[in-house]
Structure 1
Amino acid sequence: MRPARPHRAAEAAVAVLLLALGTACGSRLPESDFEHDDRTGTPARSSGAPIPVGIVTSATSPVGGNTFTGPRDGAKAYFDRLNARGGIDGRPVEVHECDDGGSGVGDNTCVRKLIDEDKVVALVATTALDYAGASRVSDARVPDIGGQPIGAAYDTWPHLYGIYGSLAPRNGTPGWDGKLYGGTEVYRYFKREQGARTAAVVSYNQASSAAYARLVEQGLKAEGYKVVTEQVDFALPNFRAAAADLKEQGADLVFDAIDTHGNAQLCKAMDEVGAKVIAKVTNVQNWTSTVPEDYKDAPRCRNALWATGSSRNFDDTDNAAVREFRDATKGLKTHSQWQLEGWAAAMWFTDAARSCAGEGVTRACVDGYMNRSENYTADGLLVPVVFQRLPEPPKTRRTCLSVARWRDGRGWVSQGDMNATCFDVPQLGYEP
């Protein structure tokens, strides 16, 4: 679950990118491992000494280079600017990076090195394909701040604080007795604000893709949509046939359970058959500045792309916090929403560390700040984030979302205020 916007199925589309690849959360620890309370934490360093933090990223992975590097790049940009301005009470932040290669073995190796050898105070902006070391991070009571919830780890273990928050007990079991819950706010938005009534869901004939498509279909039906399902062959996809059928069925919206390349091919096919929709909906992981290149062969569909998330549009440069992010990252070749969320994660750690001025920047102090976090916004870059441990999942919840649509020549254009685009929606259960 996520706070003001719980972990919804529509944001889980990153799992589709991985296709047959699974994610692991590590083995469950005995309950006794969570009962001790070592308030000493990492020893405070002398004045002026660097504050070590770790960033674990699947920079190289089976799904391709640069797929997961956005949060890392955003966090590093924040720390570079912070250090240029004097660091935290005169102490620079020393970033220790580790590429886990997208494997569970590599992730455990990274976690062991950062915790035991580099003695990091916290992990920041973790973006791991297989976060197998999550249980070790939790057992060491190292706060993991602002990580991307690609798997279920951030709804499973204490001391892990995902970028979108959590309402789950986090006692070593995912969610509530193995089930996660997500809201239908994305579908409610397009129905209420854009007048959509018929939605197509396109997937591969592959287990992970088909499973995600069923989740999307479940949410759409809960919101009263007529749902058109289109499944294409994973090895030899016929996107043109799928596009022709969704046109024939009169689809207003198109959701997908396919990868980025497949999306570009689907959009091209939609243009070729003349399929016009209110929105071709994507997610935060594909909310990037590379749209013109990715969808170069589909101008009509490209300009029907919409993205939803829970952070302020990185192209919204009228906002002062976004302008600072963009100024600090102007040297990057591309920009993305994940970079902005990595920047917000680094800001979150910094705020936590500054709160520790009296007792020293220790793991325990930073973790205490994170555990008390309520309605954190990273200077307005995030929909308010909270962490609670509810014994039962809520049946309904008021959730807010950030919405943007692509416009050639303008980039991603925000659609309303993300803190006012809110809906009371049901929470639907699913197994991660």
Structure 2
Amino acid sequence: MTSAPPSPAAKELAALEAGTIRKISRRIAPFIIVLYFLSFLNRVNVGFAALTMNHDLGLTQAMFGIGAGIFFVGYIVFGMPSNLALQRVGARRWIALLMVVWGVLSAATAFVTGPYSFYALRFALGLAEAGFFPGIILYLSYWFPARHRAFVTAMFMTAAPLSNMIGSPISGALLGIDGLAHLHGWQWLFIVEGAPTVLLGIVSWFFLTDKPEDANWLSAPQRNWLTEEMKRERAAKGIQKASSVWAAVKDPRVLLLACVYAGTSTGLYAIGIWAPMIIHHFGFGYFELGLVNAIPNLVAVVGMVLWARNSDRTNERRLHVAIACLAAGVGMLLAGHASSAVILIVGLSVANFGINAAKPPLWSMPTQFLTGSAAAAGIALINAMGSLIGGTIGPMVIGKLRDMSGDFSLGLYFVSATLLVSAVISYSFGLRRSVVRPRPNMP
């Protein structure tokens, strides 16, 4: 039997939905991509700065690893309070404030004088950036129904590999202006890459809209449809059952997602912070190094968008995360065995694809079983707990292993192991009980 053709009313509703999603995507996605581009650039540009900064400041690889990782101590401490503050005061005000503060702190890193001032600035930068990423994930859940969320999350998260792809040649070029105005190249790197964040923070205050019901740039039918659609979605989750902070804290699914995220974060910051130094060992100059370092990130940008689109098309999350983590683990193993620059770049490209492709379907999962304050707290908890291992412990372990062994192979094997563990956890996640579909209210 053939199914009946859709009614005119159904066609009209589908057209309204498509037009609304297209309009909010064009308004929100490009802007938050630029914001995250600057956020990620300001946290990982220290990897390029280290090529000359470590010598100037007398930092060992282990000291640098501590400084790179201590960023996430502040990041973890302030993650949940910051996300709850965003929910209370609105994304427009809170994100604008965070950006201005972290832009100033990032630029101020140019004037550190030794390991302790380096540690202090990195810790403060982590505090300032703590609320941005989980805040945007929460913000997207206000604007996009769950069936559209993985793709728009992927578009947002392309900013991380894009910041490495575009920022790497820029960072390499900035290192080459050593001596201008009596400043080192690494100092100019922090100043030049921190200043745009302050400016865009001010723009955010005027550009962002907190909730769909406040969106005067949508037509009345679009605004009404989106507002009602998001209300229905929240109701389908069972607001009374999963809307408090405590609901997120005690939910074991949050812990499992945090463990998966820990592996992807370890890989993300291994590449973001250490890849310039790993590639530098093959004899590239600063600018050429930046161009070479852009290649794995180009692969990641294309791959993660296609992967997320397929995840939305099939409405499947768990296996998309598991397969991507498996690919990333294999890529890291290949990079650790690399005996030439070509093999290294292939390994890093596979790893970078897997690490970034896993994140959009992963971040589509918590807002499908948490809502309200629980969603704000749960996203922040996953981000904080995952960052504890991935962002804090990971860089410190890699730096220590580098000092012990004389190369980065052991560090890359360590990262590979964390990604393979994430693949196993993700594969096992929800086999007995689905966690990515809203539970209907029972009578």
- TM-score normalised to structure 1 length: 0.29
Which structure's residues are more often helix, by fraction?
Answer: 2
- TM-score normalised to structure 2 length: 0.29
Q: Greater relative contact order: 1 or 2 (C-alpha under 8 angstroms, separation 6 or more)?
A: 2
Which structure's residues are more often strand, by fraction?
Answer: 1
